[in-house]
Amino acid sequence: MKVAYYPGCATHGLSKDVDIATKKVAELLGLELVEVEDWNCCGGGFLDEYDERAHVALNLRNLSKVEKMGLKKMATPCSVCLNSHRLATAKFSEDKEIRKEVTQRLQSASLQYNGTVDAEHIVWVLVRDVGVERIKSMVKRPLTNLKVGAYYGCQMLRPEQIMGFEPAYNPHSLEDLISATGATPVRFPMSTSCCGFPLMGSNPKGGLKLAYNVLSSARSAGADLVVHPCSLCHLQMDVTQFKVMEEFKTGWTMPTIYVTQLLAIAFGISPKELGLSRIALKALEERGIT
């Protein structure tokens, strides 16, 4: 199966390890990810507050490229990129004034969007199109002794009427994937709460508190580590987790890895090869996973 792949800026930047694991897992599963040609930033979840029409136009440029590539789906590993593209297509189809102006802007850039492609989360493609059974069949190292917190965050789920893959208050995709690896999924009270990343751009203290709430909730529920589905959650809870821990003087850490990183480990790839964080490497080593 062949789908267009939109990594997004963070996945090609500080969250590069999300990209590494996603590509490795896709390759092993026979899922061909074709990177969108000359893709641009989705606006990072912020551009629409600066210029709503520019946000829609930029996102439709990426989707128009996918149409030109002759593909039907654009999969992204980042929930914010997903949310951004899907909000853009929803606005484009529902708001005739936005549609009119965005169409003009697209035309001025010699672009055309026909509405045949929308963004999907890589998790949706894995669960629905590749299938949990196929994923299970690839597991070489069942993670049977691992209790894994399933953290969905926000933008892959909400608003449900636009994301649409699973009920925002009863999601199961990450638990399905965690179970496929042999690990035990742990649902914790803050499983679908915000990691605080979008608040870091204006009120960092508030943002860190939200991250702390999620990590400590997973810890209280007995998770050994947490998996998440977003390259920006990754920045907040993996890359700079020490910042959160220092702010709240926790004395503990909670390894937080991207969902395809967990799959890759179960498929037999070493955590070091995946370029995981030190926090995650240490926690996995302690459980004999190297």
Partner 1 sequence: MEAQTLATNLEQREITVRVKRFNEDKGEFWSEYKLSVDRFTQITEVLRRIKTEQDPTLAYRASCHMAVCGSCSMKINGEPRLACKTLALDVVKKFNTDVITLEPMDYFKPLKDLIVDMGDFYTRMFKVKPRLYPAEEVVKGVAEQRLKPEDQRELWKFAQCIWCGLCVSACPAVKEDERFLGPAAHAKGYRFLADPRDTLYEERLKILLDSSWRCTYCYQCFHVCPRDVEPVTTIKKTRAHTKFSKEKTDVMSTGERHVKAIYESIKETGILQEAKVYISTYGLATAITDMLHTMRNGKMKYALIREKKVNEIEQIRKLLGD
Q: Which of residues 52-81 bind partner 1 (CB under 8 A)?
A: 52-54, 57-58, 61
Write out the binding residues for partner 1, residues 165-184 only, by CB under 8 A. Answer: 167-170
Among 32, 51, 273, 285, binds partner 1 (CB under 8 A): 51
Q: CB neighbours of 53 closer than 8 A, spacing ≥ 6?
A: 98, 101, 102, 105
User: Minimum distance between the CB of residue 142 and partner 1, rounded to whole angstroms?
Assistant: 26
Give the tokens for residue 149. 């917190």
Rounded distance, CA 143 to CA 178, Å? 9
Among 28, 34, 41, 139, binds partner 1 (CB under 8 A): 41
CB of 284 closer than 8 Å to CB of 290: yes
Q: In terms of C-beta density within 10 A (0-12 exposed, 13-18 middle, 19 or more buried), how is residue 290 classed?
A: exposed
Residue 99 within binding range of partner 1, rule CB under 8 A: no
User: Minimum distance between the CB of residue 190 and partner 1, rounded to whole angstroms?
Assistant: 9
Write out the binding residues for partner 1, residues 112-151 only, by CB under 8 A. Answer: none
Residue 98 within binding range of partner 1, rule CB under 8 A: no
CB of 204 closer than 8 Å to CB of 244: no
User: Minimum distance between the CB of residue 64 and partner 1, rounded to whole angstroms?
Assistant: 10
Nearer to partner 1, 181 or 191 (CB): 191
Rounded distance, CA 151 to CA 167, Å? 14
Write out the binding residues for partner 1, residues 195-224 only, by CB under 8 A. Answer: 196, 198-199, 201-204, 206-207, 209-210, 213
Rounded distance, CA 65 to CA 36, Å? 7
Rounded distance, CA 145 to CA 134, Å? 22
Q: Under rule CB under 8 A, how many of the chain's residues touch partner 1?
A: 73
Nearer to partner 1, 42 or 71 (CB): 42
Rounded distance, CA 240 to CA 247, Å? 11
Residue 279 within binding range of partner 1, rule CB under 8 A: yes
Residue 159 within binding range of partner 1, rule CB under 8 A: yes
**What Rg do the C-alpha atoms of the chain give, in angstroms?**
19
User: Minimum distance between the CB of residue 280 and partner 1, rounded to whole angstroms?
Assistant: 9
Among 26, 33, 43, 229, binds partner 1 (CB under 8 A): 43
β-strand partners of 3: 33
Among 3, 33, 75, 83, binds partner 1 (CB under 8 A): 83
Residue 106 within binding range of partner 1, rule CB under 8 A: yes
Where do the H-state alpha helices sit in 121-226?
Answer: 122-124, 132-137, 160-163, 173-180, 204-220
Give the tokens for residue 61. 């440029």
Among 173, 241, 260, 261, binds partner 1 (CB under 8 A): 241
